[in-house]
């Protein structure tokens, strides 16, 4: 696990930031919306699988692949809020709107989005690098195979 220690730490940080962000989404949701009624709880199984891949299988292809998908989710969160309605995510982005900017928790909300973007991007690179190192059964990640 020593080889992927940085990836494990960054992935755990992304999971933590994702839970903080989803909590903020629920707290700052408009009354009557699905988020205000706790619909963000549907991601709990996704976070459990991400946590499993991070802690139990960090040196396996499946673990690196799970962390790669999780890093895409972390990286996508700020993009969903900035870009606005995207397909099934038809909720308008309110990140830069007046109502959020005037609330007391705006600084933390923006900071968490920025931190998710940074940790998501960094873990994406590390997970891709881990998958590349594991190609062809290269368990030690050195990239060299013994010739006889």
Tens-place pLDDT, residues 65-119: 999 999 999 999 888 877 765 444 444 445 555 555 566 677 888 899 999 999 9
Which residues does residue 59 pair with via DSSP β-bridges, in sequence order? none
List 89's β-bridge partners, or say none. 86
Q: Residue 19's closest CA among 35, 40, 33?
A: 40
- How many folded domains does the chain comprise? 1
Angle of helix 61-83 relative to helix 44-55, nearest 10 degrees? 140
Range of the domain at 30: 2-135
Residue 65 lies in a domain: yes
Flag whether 148 is in a domain: no
Q: Which residue pairs, CB below 8 angstroms and at least 24 apart, start in 91-100?
A: 91/33, 91/35, 100/28
| Residue 91 resides in a domain | yes
In this prediction the pTM is 0.78
20: which 2 tokens?
Answer: 């903080």
């Amino acid at each position: 696990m020593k080889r992927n220690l940085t990836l494990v730490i960054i992935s755990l940080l992304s999971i933590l930031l994702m839970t903080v962000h989803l909590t903020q989404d629920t707290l700052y949701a408009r009354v009557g919306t699905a988020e205000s009624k706790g619909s963000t709880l549907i991601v709990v199984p996704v976070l459990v699988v991400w946590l499993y891949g991070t802690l139990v299988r960090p040196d396996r292809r499946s673990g690196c692949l799970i962390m790669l998908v999780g890093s895409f989710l972390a990286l996508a969160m700020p993009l969903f809020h900035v870009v606005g309605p995207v397909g099934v995510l038809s909720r308008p982005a309110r990140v830069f709107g007046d109502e959020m900017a005037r609330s007391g928790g705006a600084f933390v909300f923006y900071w968490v989005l920025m931190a998710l973007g940074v940790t998501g991007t960094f873990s994406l690179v590390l997970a891709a690098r881990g998958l590349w190192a594991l190609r062809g059964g290269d368990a030690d990640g050195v990239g060299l195979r013994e010739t006889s």
